[in-house]
C-alpha cells in the first residue's frame, strides 16, 4: 500500500454562505473517523474554492504534504478538508489553475475573464448585478471621470449588508472599541483616490523586485530586538513602540511599501493617496482591479467568520464527542479566519473544557491583534479571539512571512477604517495581519524560524509556550505581485512542522 493510500482521507465537510450544513454528512464523517481508529485528525481549511477542480487541487496539495511528512506512519493519521463558498482571483497562482491560464489572467489585467466572472457570480449570487457592472468597467476602462464614481457605487453595493444583518458582526477581528470597526475606508473614500493608492502600491511592489526577478530580501525584513530590555541603543522598528518591543520582540523594520509606514489614514488634512504624481488611466484601472480584489476579500472575510463560528465550530465540538482522535485545526489565508472563529463556535457546547489538540495558522488573513487582551494605541477593546486560547490544549502556531506582499501591503491598505486618525501607530502596525508579522499584543516568546522550530532541541517550546510565531520567510516567498509568498505554503518543511505539532501533543 502506498503512503498516499495509507493516509486516511475523510473527504470534506461542506458549508453554505450562512454556515448551513448537512447533518447527515457530518454524522457520516463522525462515524468514519470513529471507525478508522486513527490517532490524529487534521482538519484543513483554505480559501481556494473557485470551482471543484481548484478546490480539489488545493486539497490534494495539502493532503500530499501531510502524507509525505508521516511516511510509513501515515496510517495513524487522517485528513478532513472543509468546503465553503470562497474564491481566489485566478491571477494569483493558485492550485488547479494552469500556469498558462494564470499568465493569461495577469496579461488581461485589469480585465476580468469569463472564468473569473463565473467564479464570482457562483459564490456571490446575490451580487450578480454589481459584479456585471464592475466587470464591464474593468474590461472597458472608460476614460471619463464618472467611470470611477460608477465603480465605487458598484463596489459599495457588492459589500453592503443591512445594519441588522448578523453578518455585520463578523466584519472585525477586534471588539469592545470606542469606535467599533464596520466597513473599511476603501468603500467610503473617493474611489479614484483609492484606485490611485492601490496603483501606487502595485508600483512599489514591482519596484521591490530586482533585475533578476527575485524579491528584495531586505524589504520587510524583521528587525531583531532584545526582548525584555529597554536600552535606548537597542534597534527599534519603525512599526512598533518600545513597550511593545520589550514584550513581543521582532518587528518588520523595512516596510514593503512606504504607504503602510504612514500614521493614520489622513495626513495634513488631506485624503489618503498622498502620491500626487501623474498617473495615466491604465495605471488607475490596474489600481481599480486591485481595489476590486480587496473588496471581494473583505466580503469573504465576513463570510469566513460566519462559517467558522456557526458552522465548523459546532461540528468540531460534536466530532470531539464522537471520536477519540486528537484534532489538529489548520487554516491557510482566508481559511485561517474560518478556523480562528471556529474556536468561538466550540463554546456552543457550554463548557470551558479543552477540545482541540492544536491550532496552526498558515499565513492567516486576520488582524495580528486578534488574540490580544488589549489593543495598543486604544483606550479599550481586545482581539475577537482573546479568550479562546483555553480551547486549544496543545500548540498554537502562527506562520508569517515578510515576503507575503498581500498581507504585508494590501491587507493594511484595505483594512484601515474611516475616521482613524491615530498618530501613535503606523498603518502596518495598527492594521497588520497575522501572516505578515505573527501574533501581536500578547506576552510570548521571541519569534522562531521554521528551521529552528523543526530542531529537536526546540521541541519543548511547542508545548510550553501559549503562542509560537514561526518566521517562514525563507520558504513563503515569490515575486508574484501582489500576492508575494501568500499561496506558497505547501512545502515538506511545513508538513514536518505539522507532524511535530501532533507528536508534541502526544507527549503532553
pLDDT in tens, 128-150: 999 999 999 999 999 888 999 99
Give the pLDDT of residue 420: 61
Cβ contact 53:96 at 8 Å: yes
Q: Is 206 exposed, middle or buried (0-12, 13-18, 19+ CB in 10 A)?
A: exposed
Give the pLDDT of residue 424: 60
Q: Is the pLDDT of residue 2 over 50?
A: no
CA–CA dist 135, 338 (Å, integer): 28
Q: What percent of the chain has pLDDT over 90?
A: 64
Q: How far is CA 156 from the centre of its chain?
A: 22
CA–CA dist 7, 78 (Å, integer): 6
Give the pLDDT of residue 362: 98
- Banded model confidence at residue 100, pLDDT cuts 50, 70, 90: very high
Torsion angle, alpha carbons of 131, 291, 222, 374, to 10: -80
Task: Give me the sign of the Cα torsion angle 366, 368, 369, 372.
Answer: positive
Which of the residue ranges 2-6, 146-150, 361-365 would you say has the lowest mean pLDDT?
2-6
Helix ranges, 99-145 (H): 99-108, 114-123, 128-140
Q: Which CATH number fits domain 3-88+302-402+414-424+481-507: 3.10.450, 2.60.40, 3.40.50, 3.30.1490?
A: 3.40.50
The reported pTM is: 0.90
Domain ranges of the chain: 3-88+302-402+414-424+481-507
pLDDT in tens, 214-260: 555 544 454 433 333 334 444 444 444 444 444 444 455 466 888 88
Supply 291's cell numbers. 481595489
Say which residues have a Cβ less than 8 Å from residue 211's Cβ, sequence separation at least 6: none
Q: At what angle do helices 313-322 and 23-36 cross, to 10 degrees?
A: 40
50, 158, 171, 186, 311 from 183: Cα distances, Å? 25, 12, 7, 8, 23
Supply 254's cell numbers. 523595512
Q: What's the average model confidence in pLDDT over 398-405? A: 95
Give the pLDDT of residue 427: 83
How many C-beta atoms lie closer than 10 Å to residue 125's C-beta? 11
Give the pLDDT of residue 351: 54
Give the pLDDT of residue 271: 43
The DSSP symbol for 228 reads T
- Banded model confidence at residue 349, pLDDT cuts 50, 70, 90: low
Cβ contact 45:81 at 8 Å: yes
Give the pLDDT of residue 459: 53
Rg of the chain in Å (alpha carbons): 22
Q: Average pLDDT of the chain?
A: 85
Collapsed DSSP state (helix, strand, coil) of residue 47: coil
Amino acid at each position: 500500500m502506498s503512503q498516499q493510500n495509507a493516509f486516511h482521507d475523510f473527504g470534506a465537510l461542506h458549508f453554505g454562505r450562512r454556515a448551513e450544513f448537512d447533518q447527515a454528512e457530518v454524522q457520516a464523517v463522525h462515524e468514519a473517523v470513529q471507525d478508522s481508529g486513527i490517532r490524529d485528525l487534521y482538519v484543513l481549511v483554505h480559501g481556494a474554492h473557485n470551482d471543484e477542480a481548484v478546490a480539489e487541487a488545493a486539497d490534494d496539495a495539502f493532503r500530499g504534504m501531510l502524507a509525505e511528512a508521516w511516511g510509513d506512519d501515515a496510517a495513524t493519521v487522517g485528513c478532513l478538508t472543509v468546503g465553503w463558498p470562497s474564491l481566489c482571483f485566478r491571477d494569483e497562482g493558485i492550485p488547479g489553475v494552469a500556469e498558462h491560464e494564470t499568465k493569461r489572467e495577469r496579461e488581461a489585467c485589469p480585465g476580468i475573464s469569463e472564468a473569473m466572472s463565473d467564479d464570482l457570480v457562483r459564490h456571490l449570487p446575490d451580487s450578480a448585478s454589481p459584479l456585471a457592472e464592475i466587470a464591464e468597467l474593468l474590461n472597458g476602462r472608460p476614460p471619463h471621470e464618472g467611470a470611477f464614481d460608477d465603480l465605487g457605487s458598484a463596489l459599495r453595493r457588492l459589500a453592503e449588508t443591512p445594519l441588522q444583518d448578523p453578518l455585520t458582526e463578523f466584519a472585525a477581528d477586534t471588539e469592545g472599541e470606542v469606535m467599533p470597526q464596520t466597513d473599511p475606508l476603501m468603500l467610503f473614500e473617493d474611489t479614484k483616490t483609492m484606485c490611485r493608492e492601490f496603483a501606487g502600491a502595485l508600483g512599489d511592489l514591482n519596484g521591490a523586485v530586482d533585475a533578476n526577478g527575485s524579491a528584495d530580501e531586505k524589504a520587510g525584513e524583521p528587525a531583531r530586538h532584545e526582548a525584555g530590555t529597554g536600552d535606548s541603543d537597542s534597534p527599534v522598528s519603525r512599526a512598533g513602540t518600545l513597550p511593545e518591543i520589550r514584550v513581543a520582540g521582532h518587528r518588520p523594520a523595512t516596510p514593503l511599501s512606504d504607504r503602510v509606514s504612514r500614521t493614520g489614514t489622513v495626513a495634513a488634512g488631506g485624503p489618503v493617496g498622498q502620491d500626487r504624481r501623474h498617473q495615466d488611466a491604465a495605471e488607475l484601472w490596474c489600481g481599480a482591479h486591485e481595489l476590486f480584489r480587496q473588496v471581494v476579500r473583505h466580503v469573504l472575510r465576513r463570510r469566513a467568520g460566519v462559517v467558522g463560528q456557526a458552522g465548523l465550530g459546532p461540528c468540531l465540538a460534536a466530532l470531539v464527542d464522537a471520536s477519540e482522535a486528537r484534532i489538529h485545526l489548520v487554516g491557510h489565508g482566508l481559511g485561517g479566519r474560518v478556523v480562528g472563529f471556529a474556536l468561538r463556535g466550540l463554546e456552543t457546547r457550554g463548557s470551558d473544557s479543552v477540545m482541540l489538540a492544536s491550532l496552526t495558522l498558515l499565513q492567516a488573513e486576520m488582524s495580528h491583534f486578534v488574540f490580544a487582551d488589549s489593543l495598543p494605541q486604544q483606550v479599550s477593546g481586545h482581539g475577537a479571539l482573546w479568550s479562546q486560547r483555553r480551547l486549544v490544549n496543545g500548540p498554537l502556531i502562527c506562520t508569517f512571512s515578510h515576503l507575503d506582499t498581500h498581507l504585508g501591503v494590501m491587507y493594511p491598505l484595505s483594512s484601515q477604517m474611516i475616521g482613524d486618525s491615530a498618530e501613535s501607530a503606523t498603518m502596518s502596525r495598527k492594521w497588520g495581519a497575522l501572516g505578515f508579522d505573527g501574533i501581536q499584543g500578547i506576552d510570548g516568546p521571541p519569534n522562531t524560524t521554521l528551521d529552528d522550530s523543526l530542531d529537536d532541541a526546540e521541541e519543548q517550546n511547542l508545548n510550553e509556550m501559549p503562542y509560537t510565531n514561526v518566521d517562514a520567510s525563507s520558504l513563503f516567498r515569490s515575486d508574484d505581485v501582489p500576492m508575494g509568498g501568500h499561496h506558497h505554503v505547501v512545502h515538506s518543511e511545513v508538513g514536518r512542522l505539522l507532524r511535530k505539532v501532533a507528536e508534541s501533543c502526544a507527549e503532553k
